[in-house]
Amino acid sequence: MQPWIIVLIVVAVLVLFMLFLMVATRYKKCPPDKIMVIYGKVGADREGNARSAKCIHGGAAFIWPLVQAFTYLDLTPLSISVDLKSALSRQNIRIDVPSIFTVGISTEPTVMENAAERLRNLKMNEIQELAKDIIFGQLRLVIATMNIEEINTDRDKFLEAISRNVEGELKKIGLRLINVNVTDISEMAVAAESAGADAISMINTLPGMCIDIRTRRPIIRNNTGGLSGPAVLPVALRMVWQASQKVKIPIVGLGGISTWQDAVEMLLAGATALQIGTVLFTDPYAPIKIAQGLSDYMDENGIQSLSELTGGVKPW
């Protein structure tokens, strides 16, 4: 064989080998928990406009050397805790809506491209913050269109409205809403009951703060502390009432009970037993007075057992 033919064969084999290597190294597979974003020269969309990126989920793609590059977007869901406070409802009543949103980058074709454009350079915690801002805004908007009654009793409608509004806005930056969970105190009670609790005691104190206007220092060395006493009674009644509708185990009601009338209210809200604390600082005889007051109230109203009062409130 002529030497030039041998050289030609060697060169051809080398070229083929290089070609194979190039294809092998530039053929990229997309893992199931990622979106592959190919950018550079990626062609045009249906209207003929140049696309900023081509996104694929699953499968594989060939990345042309020099003209294309690629990166991945992580599909791991993000859990976002949204502690919305004092949002105005339709009747101008303020409401707290603590909730947990789970969002993730969308795999819907057009939305994936939004993600590539808006989120490619962001870290997970930055995406989380961005989503949180959007969710806060949309949640306030939804609450402003609903009455307190609707929000509290028609949870499905509330969640549907949240999902609709939040989802639409999230799509604009390439995210999708996976789950919404409005966390309220009754769900905590349900969690305790499901975990095997025999009873629930609620509500303890509410976090509070006092400031010395002369020194501008918080009065308590801890800066914040538990607020108890009469101020917390309405909150305690509301929480006991809400929880008592969700659980079967007894609820021990406490928080702000100072008089026998407060005690009756707490029983009517759904408590089976009561505790008192703060009032003892001002009146050590309060337990005796409360017991006597309850006894008189029972006699006057023909009540045989205090348990007849438990949960007896008649909501409007």
Ligand X SMILES: Cc1cc2nc3c(=O)[nH]c(=O)nc-3n(C[C@H](O)[C@H](O)[C@H](O)COP(=O)(O)O)c2cc1C
The helix-helix angle for 260-269 and 233-244 (nearest 10°) equals 30
Q: How far is the CB of 81 from ligand X (least distance, A)?
A: 24
Q: How far is the CB of 214 from ligand X (least distance, A)?
A: 25
| β-pair partners for 225 | 208
Q: Does 205 bind ligand X (CB under 6 A)?
A: yes
Distances (CA, A) of 204 to 53, 194, 278: 55, 21, 11
Q: How far is the CB of 125 from ligand X (least distance, A)?
A: 33
Residues in Cβ contact with 291 at an 8 Å cutoff, skipping those fewer than 6 apart: 260
The residue (of 80 and 232) whose beta carbon lies closer to ligand X is: 232
Distances (CA, A) of 237 to 64, 202, 205, 257, 272: 67, 10, 13, 10, 13
The residue (of 30 and 254) whose beta carbon lies closer to ligand X is: 254
Binding mask 251-280 for ligand X (x = CB under 6 A): ---xxxx------------------xxx--
* Among the residue ranges 45-53, 73-81, 139-147, 221-229, the one whose residues contact ligand X (CB under 6 A): 221-229
d(CA 115, CA 132): 16
Q: How far is the CB of 228 from ligand X (least distance, A)?
A: 3
Kindly give the residue spans of alpha helices, DSSP state H, lying in 120-232. 124-144, 148-153, 155-172, 185-194
The residue (of 112 and 202) whose beta carbon lies closer to ligand X is: 202
Q: Does 229 bind ligand X (CB under 6 A)?
A: yes
Q: Does 138 bind ligand X (CB under 6 A)?
A: no
Tell me which residue of 115, 113, 109, 120 sits closest to 53, measured CA to CA: 113
Residue least distant from ligand X (Cβ)? 277
Name which position in 89, 99, 138, 228 contacts ligand X (CB under 6 A): 228
- How many C-beta neighbours within 10 Å does residue 97 have? 21
Q: Which residues of this protein are in contact with ligand X, per CB under 6 A?
A: 204-205, 226, 228-229, 232, 254-257, 276-278
